Amino acid sequence: VYKQSQTDVLRQLRKGCRSYVKLAQYCARNDNTKEQLLHRQGIQFLSRRSAANYSRYSASTIMNSYCKELTLMDYDIIGFDLDGTLLRYNLAEMSKLIYEVLKHYLVEQKGYSTALLAQKLDIDFLQKGLMLDGTRGNVLKLSNEARILRATHGTRLLSDEEIVAIYGPDRRWEITDAFYNNPLSTWNGPASLQMRALMDYFDMPAALVFAQAVDVVDAAASGTVREYTVWQDLLDGLMQTYSRDNFSNNKSLYFRAMRAEPERYVLPSSQRLLGWLRELRANGKKLFLLTGSNIDFANLTATQALGEDWQQQFDYVVTYAKKPGFFTIKRPFMAVDVDFKREIPNSEVSVQEDLKLGQIYSQGNWHQLHQAMAKMLKKETSDARALYFGDNIIQDVYTPVKHRDLDTVAIVEELSQVEQENYEYNAVVSSNFWDSYFVIGETPTLWSGFIANYAQICVSSMERMASMPPTERIVSNNVNGFYPLLPQQLMSSNLTTGWHG
């Protein structure tokens, strides 16, 4: 529900809830497959709650009981992240590769014991969204209110008593509190050397390497280690692994493996998704691709996933965007040499200069890109509504909504477990050790909270989006925006939304 009068909101709610009741009744008359049972449970719960609200509460109260929805035709400009959004990775192969690369870096470049190389890849320890307490050597999982729900020292699970002894009876750490209140405040500076949020699949294996390295340090120590430097060493390893300079010079084992066998790691996107992008443009939408990858790596992966003519799908392409700063500061755009796949030195585009349609740029800022696309539409910038799809909850979802004027859709592959019984990467994205990405017990996680508060809706993949016509109005069955269903684990949780959309 966007900016509308209360009367319009009420009318849409009544219409939507009548439809949900009919759908629930239909499901009840048919075979109770797993998906139907889940769908019916969510729909009937919402229908009962919403129907009661009409007679018991004011219109302002009802406005907090809506179903989040998305209508692509309401937007003039639609943008996409690349990695983890328009293209998907083979998560099993990617996790193995990054895990081995980071272990070898610590041993070969930082002098860690070769005992680290003997450690095995424990897939069950991996989970997106874990936090590192670098100084103490701990791995943390937080609630939607930043309480520490579960923690390890190295790979050893800490008891509740140990968590309280370390972090106090409220189970809080001032640095993760700062992240919770303003994630960008910890992005750089001293806090970034003590804490790291592992928010995507590029970072995810670092939690296990960090934990196993702490174990190795503890085993070699003659007494208690007061302060660990594992995180600083691992941060150097991540920078070495993903530095754009190391794609062409072969210094990154990760890039070397990706260049040798892109088909091993990058999944091809479907023709349905490519057709869906073309249909958006046929409906007058202006499309842009915005990725943190440098042009050379972006070209490698996009070609593998989207085809040789991937650039033709978009009106503008921005590489090495340096999110979240792309949305918060006015960094100049740089020109790109498309033949040599590199950023051209000293090629800054002034803020007053127009961006050229169909070009690939590097770095840049949202203000200038938004202005250029609004001009294409012959609209004032303030009238050109924009939507962005991305998988990094802070860079792609929180920041554009909190600090700029975009709406966002969260791409969360963990939802595939809800939709597909035989989801191929279930072993990688699920964890018995850490519990669900969305919840521990009945307590929502930090990321469930950010999604509920900042995303227009949350879907498992762009392929899921492409299964619906671009003209279709997409309505989730819950106030938190998870589509098509609220994950079953969250149904009994206390997750609420103070939606900022």
Instruction: Name the E strands within 14-155.
Output: 69-71, 77-80, 131-133, 138-142, 148-153
Residues of the domain holding 26: 6-66
pLDDT at 421: 84
Q: For residue 101, is pLDDT > 50?
A: yes
With contact defined as beta carbons under 8 Å apart, do 464 and 85 qualify? no
Do 295 and 225 fall within a single domain? no
Do 272 and 338 fall within a single domain? yes
- Bridge partners (DSSP) listed for residue 196: 132
pLDDT at 25: 44
Do 96 and 152 fall within a single domain? yes
Do 188 and 57 fall within a single domain? no
- Bridge partners (DSSP) listed for residue 289: 80, 317
Q: For residue 373, is pLDDT > 90?
A: yes
Written as six digits, the tokens of 415 are 């939802």
Which of these three, 212, 230, 260, is where a domain ends? 260
Query: Which range has the worst mean pLDDT, 75-84, 380-389, 410-419, 490-499?
Result: 490-499
pLDDT at 500: 64
Question: By CB neighbour count within 10 A (0-12 exposed, 13-18 middle, 19+ buried), where does 321 fall?
Answer: buried
Q: Write the Ramachandran bin of 322: left for phi over 0, alpha for psi from -120 to 50, otherwise beta.
A: left
How many folded domains does the chain comprise?
3
**Is residue 498 situated within a structural domain?**
no
Do 223 and 121 fall within a single domain? yes
Do 125 and 97 fall within a single domain? yes
Do 365 and 309 fall within a single domain? yes
Do 458 and 412 fall within a single domain? yes
Q: What is the pLDDT of residues 198-240, one digit of tens each?
A: 999 999 999 999 999 999 999 999 888 989 999 999 999 999 9
Do 76 and 61 fall within a single domain? no
Q: Among 496, 470, 462, 475, which Cα is nearest to 73's? A: 470
Do 426 and 456 fall within a single domain? yes
Which of these three, 225, 260, 295, is where a domain ends? 260
Helix or strand holding residue 209 (H, E): helix 205-220
pLDDT at 47: 42
**Is residue 190 situated within a structural domain?**
yes
**Is residue 500 situated within a structural domain?**
no
pLDDT-derived band at 102 (thresholds 50, 70, 90) equals very high
Per-residue pLDDT averaged across 124-153, rounded? 98
Helix or strand holding residue 489 (H, E): none
Do 465 and 351 fall within a single domain? yes
pLDDT at 501: 59
Give the domain CATH number at 385: 3.40.50.1000
The number of beta carbons lying within 10 Å of the beta carbon of residue 224 is 6
